[in-house]
């Protein structure tokens, strides 16, 4: 009886979700009858990083025997909120999500808390003052990634005299990695007054966005020396724009990015990108481990930071053959 009514609720919410354009709501899990059910509201499929992250979460759920309900929010906060509400209705054991932007989550997080469903923030965080609204936050230190990018530029420009004009391709407006990568980079380049961000605009973490904004920069901004892109995909889009304008990426204009996914690492090994600060998308195993602990009422750390490194062109050549994504 209970099962039947639950199935009806499931079907209705899946319908409601797709009718509202909330993306696919697929069940990729292999969990057992009494195993853990996780609702996962993903940002979208905007980048190579995201694709690798989604695959890793789905694989890790299968390996852990966790039944995964997966939603792609197509980079829209309203879709993520709908998905979370649907998971609350379905009475999943745990909700995990990667918030598309930092603000505006208190209401829906309170709803999950009132329903007794723990929430794990994955990859990106929220700015809620009440940290009891979520169990833990698993993800990278985005400020550090921005700092590493900026520190490389300070060192690389040490021998050059005169101004270094930087254009910045920002990630999604209001997203934690966009805000933090900007902050970290600006803090690092403050060490050299010759380094100046002369134009800065969002490319929404996509290749087409990066290309479009770079085309506009090339028209409107004189003497660009460096592109700082908040992810590989936007940097790859900028490469296309620079080449179309008859210039050589990596030489005429230097390029620094964040992520280190395969396409980015390939461009780095070819000298089209000059430096990448790594951001690790393989969060699946840690996420499933945290989910099991949280559901079993065990203590978990409030913050779990992913380990990452940086790559020069030479290091990318070495790392590429064994790179998993």
Residues that bind ligand GYE (CB under 6 A): 46-47, 49-50, 123-124, 177, 205, 231, 233, 258-259, 279
Report the residue number, 141 or 215, with the smaller CB distance to ligand GYE: 141
**Is-contact 132 113, C-beta < 8 A?**
yes
Report the residue number, 117 or 138, with the smaller CB distance to ligand GYE: 138
In whole angstroms, the minimum distance from the beta carbon of 177 to ligand GYE comes to: 4
Beta pairing class for 254-259 and 226-229: parallel
Beta pairing class for 119-122 and 136-139: parallel
Q: Which two tokens stand for residue 308?
A: 């990452």
State how far the Cα of 208 lies from the Cα of 215, in Å rounded to an integer.
Answer: 11
3-state class of 231 per DSSP?
A: coil
3-state class of 77 per DSSP?
A: helix
State the sign of the Cα–Cα–Cα–Cα dihedral 133, 138, 143, 146. negative
Report the residue number, 50 or 182, with the smaller CB distance to ligand GYE: 50
In whole angstroms, the minimum distance from the beta carbon of 206 to ligand GYE comes to: 8
Report the residue number, 177 or 284, with the smaller CB distance to ligand GYE: 177
In whole angstroms, the minimum distance from the beta carbon of 72 to ligand GYE comes to: 13
Report the residue number, 164 or 311, with the smaller CB distance to ligand GYE: 311
State how far the Cα of 263 lies from the Cα of 44, in Å rounded to an integer.
Answer: 19
In whole angstroms, the minimum distance from the beta carbon of 98 to ligand GYE comes to: 6
In whole angstroms, the minimum distance from the beta carbon of 290 to ligand GYE comes to: 17
**Is-contact 105 126, C-beta < 8 A?**
yes
């Amino acid at each position: 009886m209970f099962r039947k009514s639950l199935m009806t609720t499931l079907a209705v919410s899946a319908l409601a979700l797709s009718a509202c354009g909330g993306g696919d709501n697929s069940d990729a899990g292999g969990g057992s009858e009494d195993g853990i059910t996780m609702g996962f509201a993903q940002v979208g499929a905007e980048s190579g990083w995201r694709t690798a992250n989604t695959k890793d979460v789905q694989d890790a759920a299968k390996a852990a025997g966790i039944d995964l309900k997966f939603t792609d929010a197509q980079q829209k906060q309203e879709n993520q909120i709908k998905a979370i509400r649907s998971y609350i209705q379905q009475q999943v054991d745990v909700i995990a999500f990667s918030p598309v932007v930092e603000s505006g989550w208190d209401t829906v997080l309170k709803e999950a808390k009132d329903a007794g469903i723990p929430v794990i923030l994955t990859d990106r965080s929220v700015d809620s003052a009440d940290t009891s609204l979520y169990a833990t936050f698993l993800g990278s230190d985005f400020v550090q990634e921005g700092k590493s990018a900026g520190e490389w530029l300070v060192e690389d420009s040490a021998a050059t005299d005169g101004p270094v004009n930087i254009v910045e391709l920002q990630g999604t407006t209001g997203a934690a990695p966009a805000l933090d990568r900007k902050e970290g980079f600006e803090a690092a380049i403050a060490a050299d007054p010759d380094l100046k961000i002369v134009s800065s605009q969002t490319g929404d973490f996509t290749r087409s966005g990066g290309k479009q904004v770079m085309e506009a920069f090339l028209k409107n901004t004189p003497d660009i020396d460096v592109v700082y892109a908040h992810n590989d995909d936007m940097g790859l889009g900028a490469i296309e724009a620079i080449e179309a304008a008859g210039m050589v990426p990596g030489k005429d204009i230097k390029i620094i990015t964040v992520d280190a996914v395969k396409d980015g690492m390939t461009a780095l090994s070819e000298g089209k990108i000059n430096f990448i600060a790594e951001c690790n998308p393989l969060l699946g195993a840690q996420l499933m481990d945290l989910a099991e602990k949280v559901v079993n009422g065990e203590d978990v750390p409030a913050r779990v930071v992913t380990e990452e490194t940086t790559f020069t062109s030479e290091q990318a050549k070495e790392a590429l053959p064994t790179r998993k994504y």
